[in-house]
Amino acid sequence: MLRDVALVCLAGGVVGVSFGAIAVAGGLPVWVPVVMSLVVYAGSAQFSAVGVLLAGGGPVAAAATGLLLNTRTAAYGLAVAEHIGRGRLARLVGAHLVTDETVAFTLAQQDPARRRTAFWVSGVGLFGTWNACVAAGALAGSALGDTARYGLDAAFPAVLAALVLPALREDAGVRRAALAGAAVALALTPAVPAGVPVLAALAGLLLHGRGRKESGS
């Protein structure tokens, strides 16, 4: 597990450098991406919010965009709530560390103890790496040039896909839900703002839930 966490941290760090550099190269002060990463801590929401700001939108529009994209973490939080811990501090900090990757690592484990360890190891590791690399990218500023030409945005999704492949191989219900969600996302991508297809893909969970009820009945 530690090796997989390290690989995801590496991919996340690369994307974090890209985010910090893009934000500062676009004209934002260095402190904006740094503080945003500490407080918001959501890659897709941060990229979208900065995109709105750089396009001339106001802070309210940027915040609304980020909140819309980050609503998916509500479902993620429910999925791992029992593995975070019972204390108020643990739940408060743990809720801030809930991401696509921490949920994938947590649910990939077989027993509750390993799931809790996986959540905190991956959560703390990713949070620290992301913020350190965003700060490094912001300080580098425009020195990196056009970050899109390096293909940095592909690193994170590729590693996340590798994490979920075992679950797809082992559970036919998960495969059906994933395919349904992917179909919905692909259909909506040309017509809706970036990030909305990801939210709509959660509809695949309805199919998975119905399948589990039918198998249990």
HEC readout, the chain: CHHHHHHHHHHHHHHHHHHHHHHHHCCCCCHHHHHHHHHCCCHHHHHHHHHHHHCCCCHHHHHHHHHHHHCHHHHHHHHHHHHHCCCHHHHHHHHHHCCHHHHHHHHCCCCHHHHHHHHHHHHHHHHHHHHHHHHHHHHHHHHHCCHHHHCHHHHHHHHHHHHHHHHHHHCHHHHHHHHHHHHHHHHHCCCCCCCHHHHHHHHHHHHHHHHHHHHHC
CA 196 to chain centre: 14
pLDDT at 217: 45
CA 121 to chain centre: 16
Contact at 8 Å (CB) between 64 and 40?
no
Question: Would you give per-residue pLDDT tens digits along the chain (217 residues)?
Answer: 788 888 888 888 888 888 888 888 777 888 988 998 998 888 777 877 787 777 676 777 777 767 776 776 777 777 787 888 778 888 888 888 888 888 888 888 888 888 888 889 988 999 999 999 999 988 887 666 665 566 555 554 555 566 566 666 666 777 777 788 788 878 887 887 655 676 677 666 666 555 444 455 4
CB within 8 Å of 196: residues ≥ 6 apart: 68, 69, 188
